[in-house]
Structure 1
Amino acid sequence: MLKTPIARGVALATLGASLAIPSMAQAEFLKDSKASLEMRNFYFNADNRQSGLASEDSKSEEWAQGFILRYESGFTEGTVGFGLDAIGLLGVKLDSSPDRTGSGMLPVGSDGRTDDDMSAFGPTFKARISKSTLKVGTLIPKLPTVLPTDSRILPQTFRGAHINSGEIKNLTVDLGRLTENSLRSEAGYEDLTATNVSGGKATDKFDFASASYKWGDSGLTTSYNYGHLDENYKQHIVNLLHVLPISEGQSLKTDLRYARSTEDGNANVDNKAIGAMFTYSLSGHSFGLGYQDMSGDTAYPYITGTDAFLVNYVMIDPAFADADEKSWQARYDYNFAAMGIPGLTFMTRYVKGEDFGANGNGEEWERDTDIAYVIQGGPLKNLGIKWRNGSYRGETAAGADREIDQNRLIVSYTLPLL
């Protein structure tokens, strides 16, 4: 039996919800419940060199352990079904020091030291009518206008309300408001802020709306997405995704994206982002080519801590999304299942950006490589090991040279509990 505080929190929340539901309605609520414990062991090493900085400020090296306990109930019987989800988060420092912080895994105190641990518990109450579900509480939405990051030991979470509806065949509609944000390295919640926005304010209002339609068996999905971060920006995103089967084991994937972002309140935002990614797959091999174009007076805006919905949003550089920046990407993936080694995958990519900065002659590039293996059987089944390596070379907005080399080693395992 789990003894951690987050495990007890999930159990108490579930018990409380069960007591509040009439016994005749509890059957589906409990029968369809699911729970799991995900464990992430994360080692982060980065060498950050920038002209004008002392060498002792360049090192970032930390090691931490994350625990993510997820509970998802079924719904009570009746026209309106009620349920409860919950997430418990615990992050534990394994190794760090004031001269090696900066991994983004744990909170950093006023003395420059990372906290020994952090924990949080978030319940989510839900109601379902027909094919529509309302969730209120802790949320991890995944939409082009708001993509919570999940690239460290714990995921970013929000508080708010979210309606997801699938009443019309092939059409998915999402509506909602987010009011608070908890970063991946923080246990508490704060008002929302924006990245790449000057003159903006912290706010408790981010409204979003999304409609995604799958065009039958054509392999085509189109979507329109709207996001409004009060006193910061308004954003419209259109996405076209198409997969063309060519023959058995052979396909061409097209991903086209357009975003228009404008100011709200006294903020300064004016950005148009166009992106295209084409991926050809053949017998385990995937070859991708991408292009991204920023126009307007400012960089691409997005909620602080989230990932940006851009084809060139990669491992180290913040999205290759400076004002007027043009960037391209070449990517190669291989799934070793094609040669009889299921669970082993490889990815490498190169991104080059140019034509940005005060004089319009800024340049930057990034090279990333991922190797991952998930054990397929035996007592360690589903244990995952991933090594991520990245190198970045470029300039800051002030023109200073930057050189970054990173290595990340992640060992993960998910244990089903229900």
Structure 2
Amino acid sequence: MKIQNLVLAIMAFACLNSATQAAFIEDTKGQIYLKNFYFDRDYSDQTTDLSNWSQAVSLFVNSGYTDTPIQMGLDLSARYAYRLSPAKDIVDNVMPYDEYDHKQAQDQLKLGGAIKLKYSNTELKIGEFTPKLPIVHTDVAMQLPTTFLGGMIESTDIKNTKITAGRLTKVSGRNAEDYSKFQLSNGTTKAKTDALNFIGADYDYKDQQFRYFFADLENIYNQHFLSYEYRHAFNENLRLKSNFYLFDTYDSGDSLEGNIDSLALATIHMLTYGNHTFGAGYKHMSGDTKFPLLANWVPQLYLANWSVGTYMQQDEHSWQIRYDYDFKETPFNGLKSTLRYYYGDNIKTATGNDGIEKELDFILNYEFSQSKLKGFSLSWLIADYKNSTSKDYLENRLSATYTLTF
């Protein structure tokens, strides 16, 4: 959203009478988010190592709603990151890179906002989004997140049901400031399209959830997503959560990226006993093409086996096992750890279905609970990734974050 549009929106609210503005102002909430982030990827060939150290500060202001028949509100955001490490003038996946001057940016700025309109339990937003939906998801894995422009409506007027629909027209990657049209990161023609349209429904019933979404990347693909989640508590200490996912994606309209034919079936099961959680998952890729990925660092977390590696190549079969431990009610309360292993094979290559990728991850997260350090957390991910068709690498991601709400 352009700055002048935000100014006009703010001026429009200023014209409302004081009685109408009361809830709009009194219910306004703000948040400051600080993130110090270090990223390092060491490739096995020792010639293309990536690294970046940066500090970011983000400000979010979310207004209340006016006391009018159709309630109105305004959300504003400002995100700024500054590179602390020397410039390597390469694409490091974190900060912007100028392809013409072959220079890496010193800093990064993202300004955004959204106008929101609400009636009963239905809300329409127009402006900037960081969606977390099965068919489009923001990426927060590095420094600043992937953001989108468009409109989206959500309604919970039907009991146990949430209806979501929207049209997104632009995307700004995690390593970008500007917005661009949608295209595929693994497309053959890099064709651009005007919008991603979608509609979906979530239905929750007791310990179960059903979800269906349909997405139309105009003149490139149609996508159906269907999922089922089952939650069961055997007793106070033993709980099970099982998820089943299906993605069916095929070319549509003018087929600007040619033939797209991908079917993904995935499942993951998490069994928690006290402080321990054991997990196992499996994903089966089929169809004539690999899974189509939206460009500008748009992840597809609902593909289940998704980490540093994506495990979404043509014909790939992959599985994961994991173990999580929560140090709650111990002297290290606030600390959580994850150990997980991924393995994928049967990847289609020029010589047959002989491609393999695998990965071992270790994650530590610590949230301080002491009153003076409330809102401060630390995180460390180390991933050892190997791929028979590309370069192996060892990756570290470390972050220190602080959140202040006012």
Query: How would you bin the TM-score normalised by the shorter chain?
Result: over 0.9
The CA distance in 1 between the partners of 2:293 and 2:230, in whole Å, is 25
How much identity, in percent, do the aligned residues show? 29
The CA distance in 1 between the partners of 2:218 and 2:270, in whole Å, is 36
| Alignment counterpart, residue 73 of structure 2, candidates 69, 76, 83 | 83
5+ residue gaps, structure 2: none
| 2:384 counterpart residue number | 391
Q: CA deviation at 1:298?
A: 0.8
The CA distance in 2 between the partners of 1:162 and 1:19, in whole Å, is 25
TM-score w.r.t. length of structure 2: 0.93
Q: CA deviation at 1:243?
A: 0.9
Q: Are the counterparts in 2 of residues 364 and 393 from structure 1 also a CA contact under 8 Å?
A: yes
| 2:299 counterpart residue number | 307
- Is 1:411 aligned to 2:400, yes or no? yes
| 1:166 counterpart residue number | 156
Q: Are the counterparts in 1 of residues 9 and 115 from structure 2 also a CA contact under 8 Å?
A: no
Query: What are the superposed Cα offsets for residues 70-95 of structure 1, whole Å, 9 maximum, x if unpaired?
Result: 11111101221000001111111111
Q: Are the counterparts in 2 of residues 200 and 232 from structure 1 also a CA contact under 8 Å?
A: no
| Alignment counterpart, residue 363 of structure 1, candidates 356, 368, 375 | 356
| 1:350 counterpart residue number | 341
Aligned length: 396
The CA distance in 2 between the partners of 1:40 and 1:407, in whole Å, is 16
| 2:137 counterpart residue number | 147
| 2:214 counterpart residue number | 226
Per the alignment, do residues 13 and 94 of structure 1 end up closer, same or farther by CA in structure 2, a change over 3 Å counting? Answer: farther
| Alignment counterpart, residue 289 of structure 1, candidates 277, 280, 283 | 280
TM-score w.r.t. length of structure 1: 0.91
The CA distance in 1 between the partners of 2:321 and 2:104, in whole Å, is 37
> Structure 2 counterpart of 1:335, which letter?
D
Report runs of 4+ in structure 1 exceeding 4 Å deviation. Answer: 11-15
| 1:244 counterpart residue number | 232
| 2:312 counterpart residue number | 321
Query: What are the superposed Cα offsets for residues 40-74 of structure 1, whole Å, 9 maximum, x if unpaired?
Result: 10011111235xxxx43x21121011112111111
Per the alignment, do residues 338 and 296 of structure 1 end up closer, same or farther by CA in structure 2, a change over 3 Å counting? Answer: farther
| 2:40 counterpart residue number | 45
Q: CA deviation at 1:113?
A: 3.0
CA RMSD of superposed structures (Å): 1.9
Query: What are the superposed Cα offsets for residues 195-237 of structure 1, whole Å, 9 maximum, x if unpaired?
Result: 333345211210011100001x2x1000001111112211000
| 2:29 counterpart residue number | 34
Q: Are the counterparts in 2 of residues 145 and 302 from structure 1 also a CA contact under 8 Å?
A: no
Q: Are the counterparts in 1 of residues 87 and 106 from structure 2 also a CA contact under 8 Å?
A: no
Q: Are the counterparts in 2 of residues 149 and 155 from structure 1 also a CA contact under 8 Å?
A: yes
| 1:207 counterpart residue number | 197
Per the alignment, do residues 297 and 338 of structure 1 end up closer, same or farther by CA in structure 2, a change over 3 Å counting? Answer: farther
The CA distance in 2 between the partners of 1:77 and 1:160, in whole Å, is 25
The CA distance in 2 between the partners of 1:49 and 1:113, in whole Å, is 25
The CA distance in 2 between the partners of 1:104 and 1:200, in whole Å, is 19
Query: What are the superposed Cα offsets for residues 156-199 of structure 1, whole Å, 9 maximum, x if unpaired?
Result: 11100000000101100000100000111111111111233334
Query: What are the superposed Cα offsets for residues 221-276 of structure 1, whole Å, 9 maximum, x if unpaired?
Result: 00001111112211000011111101112111101001100012232210000000
The CA distance in 2 between the partners of 1:242 and 1:79, in whole Å, is 39
User: 3-state DSSP class of the match of 1:342?
Assistant: coil
- Is 1:19 aligned to 2:14, yes or no? yes
User: How do residues 78-227 of structure 1 correspond to structure 2 at under 5 angstroms?
Assistant: 78-98=68-88, 101-109=90-98, 110-199=100-189, 201-215=191-205, 217=206, 219-227=207-215
> Structure 2 counterpart of 1:384, which letter?
S
